[in-house]
Structure 1
Amino acid sequence: MTRFIHDQFSKDYLEELLKPYGEIQAPSRVAAEVREIDVLFSPFSPQNASLETLGLLGKMATKPAIFEPFRNPAAKEEICDCLLKLLEVRSALQREANRNKTSIQNIEVPQLWILTPTASSTILSGFGATQKPDWVAGVYFLPEYLRTVIVALHQLPCTQETLWLRVLGRGTVQKQAIDELAALPANHPFRKVTLELLYNLQKNLNINQQIETDDRELVMRLAPLYQEDREKARQEGQQLGKQQGKQEGQQQGEQQIILRLLKRRFGELELSLIGQIQGLSTDELESLGDVLLDFSKVGDLEVWLREKASQQ
Structure 2
Amino acid sequence: MTRFPYDQFAKDYLKELLQPLGEVETSRKVPAEIREIDVYFVPSFQSTSDTIELGLLGKIAAEPALIEPFRNAATIAEVRSCMNKLFDVFAELKRQTKSDKNRITESDLPRLWIFSPTASESILAGFRTNLDEENWGIGVHFLGDYLRTAIVAIHQLPCTEETLWLRILGKGRVQQQAIDELEALPQNNPLRSKAIDLLLNLKTTLEFNQNIDEEDRDLIMRLSPIYEQKLAESKQEGIQGERRNVIENLLRVRFGSLDAELRVIIEPLLALSPEEFTPLLLQLSREELLDRFL
Q: Same fold (TM over 0.5)?
A: yes
Deviation of 1:186 after TM superposition, in Å, equals 1.3
CA contact (8 A) 1:43 1:61 kept: yes
Q: After superposition, give the CA deviation of every residue in 1:249-308 in whole Å (9 maximum; x if it has no partner).
A: xxxxxxxxxxxxxxxxxxxxxxxxxxxxxxxxxxxxxxxxxxxxxxxxxxxxxxxxxxxx
In 1, the alpha carbon distance for the partners of 2:243 and 2:8 equals 41
SS at match of 2:186: coil
- Contact 2:38–2:68 at 8 Å: present in 1 too? yes
**What is the DSSP-based 3-state SS (H/G/I as helix, E as strand, rest coil) of the residue aligned with 1:229?**
helix
Contact in 2 for aligned 1:2/1:205 (Cα 8 Å):
no
What's the CA shift for 1:243? 4.0
What residue identity is the alignment partner of 1:73? A
Instruction: Tell me, in whole angstroms, the C-alpha distance in 1 between the residues paired with 2:239 and 2:137.
Output: 45
| C-alpha deviation, 1:236, in angstroms | 3.8
Deviation at 1:231, TM superposition (A): 1.7
8 A contact 1:116–1:150 mirrored in 2: yes
CA deviation digits over 1:60-111, x for unaligned, max 9? 0011111000001000010001111111111111111111222112222111
User: Which residue of 2 is the match for residue 95 of structure 1?
Assistant: 95
Q: Judge conservation of contact 2:20–2:50 (CA < 8 Å) in 1.
A: no
Alignment of 1:247-262 (within 5 A): none
Superposed CA RMSD in Å reads 1.7
Contact 1:114 1:149 in 2 (8 A): yes
**Structure 2 CA distance for partners of 1:95 and 1:244, relative to 1, 3 Å:** same
Tell me the residue number matched to 1:200: 201
Looking at structure 2, the residues matched to 241 and 203 of structure 1 have their Cα atoms a distance apart, in angstroms, of 28
Residue 41 (str. 1) matches residue 41 (str. 2): yes
1:31 shift after superposition: 2.9
Q: Which amino acid aligns with 1:195?
A: I
Alignment of 1:119 with 2:126, yes or no, is: no
- TM-score, normalised to structure 1's length? 0.75
Instruction: Return the alpha-carbon distance in structure 2 between the equivalents of residues 46 and 168 of structure 1.
Output: 27
Percent identical across equivalent pairs? 50
8 Å contact from structure 2 (residues 32, 88) kept in 1: no
| Residue aligning to 2:86 | 86
Whether 1:60 aligns to 2:55 is: no
Match of 1:210 in 2: 211
- The 1-side partners of 2:98 and 2:32 are apart by 20
Aligned length: 247
Residues in 2 aligned to 1:20 and 1:185: alpha-carbon distance in whole angstroms: 20
| CA apart distance, 1:49 | 3.5
Q: Which residue of 2 aligns with 1:229?
A: 230
8 Å Cα contact 2:155/2:170 also seen in 1: yes
Q: Distance in 1 between matches of 2:191 and 2:49?
A: 16
For 1:242-281, list aligned pairs within 5 A.
243-245=244-246
User: Which secondary structure state, in structure 2, belongs to the residue aligned with residue 158 of structure 1?
Assistant: coil
Q: Residue type of the partner of 1:219?
A: I
Q: 1: distance between equivalents of 2:30 and 2:43?
A: 20
Counterpart position of 2:20: 20
Q: Indicate whether 1:130 and 2:130 are aligned.
A: yes
Q: Which has the higher contact order (CA 8 A, sep 6+)?
A: 2
CA shift in 2, pair 1:173/1:50, >3 Å? same
CA distance in 2, matches of 1:225, 1:115: 26
Output the CA distance in 2 between the equivalents of 1:188 and 1:237. 22
Question: Which residue does 1:7 correspond to in 2?
Answer: 7
CA shift, 1:19, in A, is 1.1
Q: Which residue of the partner structure matches residue 307 of structure 1?
A: none
Match of 1:254? none
Q: Which amino acid aligns with 1:142?
A: L
Letter paired with 1:175: Q
How far residue 242 of structure 1 moved from its aligned partner, in angstroms, is 5.6
Equivalent-residue separation in structure 2 for 1:208 and 1:40 (angstroms):
28
Opposite residue 54 of structure 2, the aligned amino acid is L
SS in 2 for 1:115: strand
Partner in structure 2 of residue 304 of structure 1 = none
Aligned pair 1:178/2:179, yes or no? Answer: yes
- Give 1:113's aligned amino acid: W
SS at match of 1:134: helix
- Deviations, residues 100-157 of structure 1 (Å, cap 9, x unaligned): 2221122221111000011111111111111002112100011100111100000000
